[in-house]
Amino acid sequence: MALWISHRGESKDAPENTLPAFRLAMERGTDGVETDIHLTADGILVCCHDSDTKRTCGGESKIIERTPFAELEQLDASCGRAEYFGVRIPKYSELLSVLRPGRLCFTEIKENDPRVLPAFLEEIDRSGAAPEQIVMISFHAEIVRLCKEMRPELRVQWLTGFREEEDGGISPSPEKILATLKKIRADGIDAEAKPEYNTAELVKTVKDAGYDFNVWTVDEEETARFYLSAGVDFITSNRAAGLRRRTEQERTT
């Protein structure tokens, strides 16, 4: 049975990567949340997808890695949703403080910067979250490898998208995926949900090799049904609670 992860919180109904979105996921009972973290200029981890705040903060452009937190927390991170006007970019520690026991926190390290890892691990230790609640994900294979080396008990997943090559082949190939997962000692893959590339056969191949399979970002019922039938372990969605409810109702009727 797949676990449902709220992408940037329940971001269909609340501004992405904000405490209201994370709290909504907790209230709605999804299996966990996903977030993206950046390190500010003064060494504080914050939750935001983009390195530049322009898209989510009403056009105000600040590069997180070059900006102290005191400036970032003045921004309105409501993503233009009037009912949430004034909501702020949260610290990663604030997300961990609202994470309920037994719920998962998929944490994407966005920048290919090893300095983020000690700060990330320190926040986890300080929060008191159980190691099994945290799943570190990253597109950067070396970041995944380093995290597993530094903290073997944490679950880590390698993020990847898919693209079609000029010769018609799909990259990364199943062979490349398995070789990468083995090399970086990942526990699984977090793969783009494109059924034309990310097929049921690929899911079986990866799972048969002993790895977890997660898919992002699934918002359509047809795609969710496909990956449920394929046997994935996690489904990451902007509307995780509602999509889970709809697909579970289908299976019981």
> What are the C-alpha distances in Å from 174 to residues 164, 191, 199, 231?
13, 12, 10, 17
Give tens-digit pLDDT for 47-97: 999 999 999 999 999 999 999 999 999 999 999 999 999 999 999 999 999
Please name the residue that has the structure tokens 């979250």: 129
**How much is the pTM?**
0.97
C-alpha span between 138 and 171 (Å, rounded) = 17
Query: What percentage of the chain reaches a pLDDT higher than 70?
Result: 99
* Mean per-residue pLDDT, 178-190: 98
Helix (H, G, I), strand (E, B) or coil at 169: coil
Q: Dump strand ranges (E) for the chain.
A: 3-7, 32-39, 45-47, 104-109, 134-138, 155-160, 163-164, 170-171, 188-192, 212-216, 234-237
* Mean per-residue pLDDT, 170-196: 98
* pLDDT for the residue numbered 8: 98
Q: Is the pLDDT of residue 251 over 90?
A: no
Helix (H, G, I), strand (E, B) or coil at 197: coil
C-alpha span between 12 and 238 (Å, rounded) = 5
Q: Is the pLDDT of residue 250 over 90?
A: no
> What are the C-alpha distances in Å from 105 to residues 22, 136, 189, 244?
10, 8, 16, 18
Helix (H, G, I), strand (E, B) or coil at 240: helix
Q: Is the pLDDT of residue 249 over 90?
A: no
Contacts of residue 27, defined as CB under 8 A and 6 or more positions apart, other chains included, come to none
* Mean per-residue pLDDT, 19-29: 98
C-alpha span between 237 and 32 (Å, rounded) = 11
Give tens-digit pLDDT for 120-139: 999 999 999 999 999 999 99
Give tens-digit pLDDT for 135-157: 999 999 999 999 999 999 999 99
Beta bridge partners of 192: 216
First to last CA, the chain: 17
The mean predicted confidence, pLDDT, of the chain is 97
* pLDDT for the residue numbered 40: 98
Q: How confident is the model at residue 253 (pLDDT cuts 50, 70, 90)?
A: low
In degrees, rounded to 5, the angle at the alpha carbon of residue 189 between the alpha carbons of residues 183 and 190 is 140
Do the Cβ atoms of 224 and 249 come closer than 8 Å? no
